[in-house]
Chains A and B, each alone.
Chain A
């Protein structure tokens, strides 16, 4: 059997269409169905995390009025909120959801190269989510160690859920990593091997580049979490002392001896920092495409953007200890990591400049996806600039335990990627379902989310500069250095958070309502150039391209080409179909 390049395989090579409901929608090996399964699961577990954050905010804003949660619940909620949002929602949604949906369509492939592995990846992810949720029902409840699960307090009695809760958490993370590795092998191999004819790497849309690099980061960084999860589980269950030093817990000396809590922090953050970019790089890529499509202008500095993605990816492995300035590690480390941290700002700034320059003199359409994309730029700059403060050791030390950090990381790696998720859902929903999301509901959703976000997090910067400590269940009114304005401001933040949380329900309603009642979208409602909009069917059928795979002749950003008949030239339009002046770059 001679080897046939994937780009040359006809439909006979492709899988047979699944027939029954079960194989089509449940045990599906179709990347589009798996993507939607990932998305729905991630949003569902994300709603749990959203509810937890509302409960926490009610406690912080109105500690006297609501007696909904006890102190240990507060720590459990804070832990689960962080872990779910970062890993089970954002990572899964960007890579499992958008990665699965966009990679084969944007690269012009019929499916992922290993469809069966892809299906298993989803079901293992679902198992990870179920084990995580199972943590709520074990004796002692879920772990309350903080989302960083620092040793030794995560496994010592005194922390909530230090026996079964933490084991559920670690098991769930381990299972998640297995699922991610299966998915990740697929994404990388598909991008490298299954691109259609003419789709060189330097013609790929930036979304695919972002997802690709994020997957590579995930594949290399998640093992660090895996290693620490295995060793911590052994500390907890088998009584080894990898991370746990000799401690007296609740007055009783424990059997532990000599373990290194710093080792856990190093391992955790060796995963934890690339994780920031596992979430951010797909957002960077997707937002580049949204800005380009909706401003009818090619992305500014495409090559620079690709190299910036690669540079950020490589640098993200040498900055982890900037999370550990106050951990008691060698101060010379702080100097090294502060330097690398500031260096990573350079490619990031290049990307921001290029986004703004893409908009410059563009024909900007303020559609809902575009609003979210522009909102992302603002939020990312706001969150990113405060990162420069925290990246410097001497400034970080006084700010590290305050709300300044809460505001910084929520804006830069919470809200910014989530805005892109929303923008991307508004953008690609028509391709996924064949119907547009409702525009009015979309605009209400955007403005309340966007402005509400600022009403939540800008005051937190102020609280942080006042020195308000984070991780507290309540601040006693008699504490001298906390002025009364802090309590007023906390009420304000809570009320804003309630509005933002409520409007997400409107978005969910929109997702369901538009599926049945939305305006029919047609094949290419945004008049975009990339391949996913050129499929013969909308939503694309199994195999995506009917008999013949597309052939690509140009880069993904031929918008407003001088002399061309229309203001966009799809990637698969051959040069001889254009007028002579319409010859494009790429």
Chain B
């Protein structure tokens, strides 16, 4: 355990150190290739094209990483530390996984892919394509959420309610928290779609929203894949 903690700390330390050194020299007011930049070429790796919302999203992703990371470690600790665990009589009994989860996973992958396609179409300025891919992405995400709800019902009907045991309880909590995050993403998605419907809005004005949605969607897909693997194998 200690060795893992030490390794984790070391690697986080190296990453943080690298990012800090990189950030400490940035000058957010300077553009790449501008005359000001040329004059201060030494040690200047500043990027101006990074909009504040993009930074905020990445910081927010760090927060969610911390949140899910802690849920996962709580999961492991509860699995290994239950009453009587040291005598091999843990109260942890894995639950039967509703098969619909595989279908849901496919939906979320499709959702992520559709939003990525919207982002790609954005590059070529194809308004109708952006619009339809975006709608498809949101629709797949909603199917995913509905599927998760069905999964909850199936699990409950097969005898694993919230109070049936730690594995069941964690299943509901983890999938619930993930679903809520996706729901939050759908709010932003809805706002973006609504803006797209207004003819007066230029494509470029929703570019940032769509790009950030893409990042968020991919991230939640990643979280779901890790979570699904965790639920499957324990």
Q: Inter-chain contact count A-B, CB under 8 Å?
A: 147
Q: When chains A and B are docked, how far (Å) is the Cα of A1 from the Cα of B204?
A: 8
Q: A223, B70: Cβ atoms under 8 Å?
A: yes
What secondary structure prevails in chain B residues at the interface with A? helix
Point out the residues of chain B lying under 8 angstroms from A234, CB to CB. 162, 169, 173
Q: How far is the CB of A232 from chain B (nearest CB, A)?
A: 11
Q: Which of B50-58, B151-159, B222-230 contacts its partner?
A: B50-58
Given contacts A219-B59, A223-B63, A230-B173, contact A263 B52 (CB under 8 A): no
Q: In the complex, A242→B91 CA distance in Å?
A: 11
Supposing A219-B63, A227-B67 touch, asked if A193 and B52 sit within 8 A by C-beta, the answer is: yes
Q: Which residues of B contact A226 (CB under 8 A)?
A: 67
Q: Nearest residue in A to B27 (C-beta to C-beta)? A: A200
* Residues in chain B near residue A259, CB distance under 8 A: 78, 82-83, 166
Contacts of A197 in B (CB 8 A): 29
Q: Are A263 and B70 in contact (CB under 8 A)?
A: no
| C-alpha gap A195/B25 in the complex (Å) | 13
Question: Residue of B at shortest CB range from A192?
Answer: B55
- In the complex, the answer to whether B166 meets A196 with C-beta atoms within 8 Å is no
Residues of A within 8 Å of B81, CB to CB, are 260, 262-263
Binary contact readout B56-93 vs A (1 if CB under 8 angstroms, 0 otherwise): 10011011101100110010011001111000001110
Smallest beta-carbon distance B102→chain A, Å: 26
Contact A189 B63 (CB under 8 A): no
With contact pairs A231-B173, A255-B163 given, residues A3 and B27 touching in the complex (Cβ less than 8 Å)? no
Residue interface mask A222-241, B partner, CB < 8 A = 1: 01101100110010001111
Say yes or no: is B190 at the interface (Cβ < 8 Å to chain A): no
Interface assignment of B211: CB less than 8 Å from any CB of chain A: no
Whole-angstrom CA separation of A184 from B205 in the bound complex: 26
Does B11 lie at the interface of the complex (its beta carbon under 8 Å from any beta carbon of A)?
A: no
Interface check B105, CB cutoff 8 A? no
A231-B74, A241-B169 are known contacts. Are A193 and B24 too (CB-CB below 8 A)?
no
Chain B 3-21: CB-based contact to A (< 8 A → 1; otherwise 0):
0010001001100100010
- A188 contacts which of B25, B59, B77, B204 (Cβ < 8 Å)? B59
When distances are taken between beta carbons in the complex, the residues of chain A under 8 Å from B59 are 184-185, 188-189, 219
Residues of A contacting B162 in the complex (Cβ-Cβ under 8 angstroms): 234, 238-240
Report the stretch among A4-12, A452-460, A479-487 that lies at the interface.
Answer: A4-12
Provide the residues of chain B in CB contact with A200, threshold 8 Å: 24-25, 27
User: Per a CB cutoff under 8 Å, which of B50, B55, B63, B205 touches A220?
Assistant: B63
B52 CB contacts on chain A under 8 angstroms? 6, 113-114, 189-190, 193-194
Residue numbers in A under 8 Å from B66 (CB-CB): 219-221, 223-224
Does B48 interact with chain A (Cβ within 8 Å)? yes
- We find that the number of chain A residues with CB closer than 8 angstroms to chain B is 58
Is A127 interfacial (CB-CB < 8 Å)? no
1/0 contact string of A31-67 vs chain B (CB within 8 Å): 0000000000000000000000000000000000000
Residue of B nearest to A113 (CB): B52
**Given the known A-B contacts A5-B30, A193-B55, A231-B173, are A201 and B23 also in contact in the complex, defined by CB atoms under 8 Å?**
yes
State A564–B169 Cα separation when bound (angstroms): 69
A190 (CB) vs chain B CBs: closest residue:
B52
CB-defined contacts of A194 to chain B, threshold 8 Å? 28, 52
A263, B77: Cβ atoms closer than 8 Å: yes
Instruction: Assess the B74–A227 pair: CB atoms within 8 A.
Output: yes
* Residues of chain B with a CB closer than 8 A to A7's CB: 28-29
Task: From A192, A223, A262, A267, give the contact of B28 (CB < 8 A).
Answer: A192
Decide: B13 and A314 in contact? CB cutoff 8 A.
Answer: yes
- Whether, in the assembled complex, B94 has its beta carbon less than 8 Å from a beta carbon of chain A, the answer is no
Q: Does A515 contact B (CB under 8 A)?
A: no
Partner of A185, one of B25, B60, B67, B91: B60
Most A Cβ at <10 Å: residue of B16, B25, B173: B173
A145 to B83, CA, bound (A): 23
- Contact residues, A179-209 vs B (CB, 8 A): 181, 184-186, 188-190, 192-197, 200-202
Please classify the interface of chain A as helix (H, G, I), strand (E, B), loop, or mixed, using the class held by over half of its residues.
helix
Judged by a CB distance under 8 angstroms, whether B129 is at the interface is: no
Inside 8 A of B25's CB, which chain A residues have their CB? Answer: 200-201
Q: In the bound complex, what is the Cα–Cα distance between A187 and B62 (angstroms)?
A: 15
Q: How far is the CA of A260 from the CA of B2 in the complex (A)?
A: 20
Q: Which of A190, A193, A242, A333 has the most CB of B within 10 A?
A: A193
Q: Is the CB of A227 within 8 A of B70?
A: yes
A5 touches B78 (CB 8 A): no
Q: Considering the complex, which residues of chain B in the window 162-215 have a beta carbon less than 8 Å from any beta carbon of chain A?
A: 162-163, 165-166, 169, 173, 177, 204-205
Closest residue of A by beta carbon distance from B49? A3
Q: Is A352 an interface residue (CB 8 A)?
A: no
The interface residues of chain B lying within 8 Å CB-to-CB of A114 are 52-53, 56
User: B51: which A residues are within 8 A, CB to CB?
Assistant: 3
Q: Is B31 an interface residue (CB 8 A)?
A: yes
Q: Give Cα A185 to B59, complex, Å.
A: 7
A266 to chain B, nearest CB (A): 7
Q: In the complex, which of the residues A223, A227, A240 contacts B169, with contact meaning CB atoms closer than 8 Å?
A: A240
Per the bound structure, the CA–CA distance linking A297 and B84 in Å amounts to 62
A262 contacts across to B, CB distance below 8 A: 77, 81
Give the chain A neighbours of B1 by CB distance below 8 A.
333
Give the distance in Å from the alpha carbon of A184 to the alpha carbon of B56 in the complex.
Answer: 9
Q: Which A residues lie within 8 Å of B27 (CB)?
A: 200
Q: Is B132 an interface residue (CB 8 A)?
A: no
B83: chain A residues at CB < 8 Å are 245-246, 257-259
In the complex, which residue of chain B has the Cβ closest to the Cβ of A8?
Answer: B29
Are B70 and A270 interface neighbours, CB within 8 A? yes
C-alpha gap A186/B52 in the complex (Å): 9
- Specify which of B31, B166, B177 lies most central, judged by the most chain A CB atoms within 10 Å of its CB: B166
In the complex, what distance in Å separates the CA atom of A192 from the CA atom of B22? Answer: 12
Residues of A with Cβ closer than 8 Å to B?
Answer: 1, 3, 5-8, 113-114, 181, 184-186, 188-190, 192-197, 200-202, 219-221, 223-224, 226-227, 230-231, 234, 238-242, 245-246, 255, 257-260, 262-263, 266-267, 270, 310, 314, 317-318, 332-333, 336
Which positions in B face A, CB cutoff 8 Å? 1-2, 5, 9, 12-13, 16, 20, 23-31, 48-53, 55-56, 59-60, 62-64, 66-67, 70-71, 74, 77-78, 81-84, 90-92, 162-163, 165-166, 169, 173, 177, 204-205
A–B complex contacts, Cβ < 8 Å, 5 sampled: A202-B24, A223-B67, A226-B67, A258-B165, A262-B81
Other A-B pairs beyond A220-B66, A238-B162, 15, CB < 8 Å: A5-B31, A6-B52, A7-B28, A113-B56, A185-B59, A189-B59, A230-B177, A241-B169, A257-B83, A258-B82, A258-B83, A260-B82, A263-B78, A263-B81, A270-B70
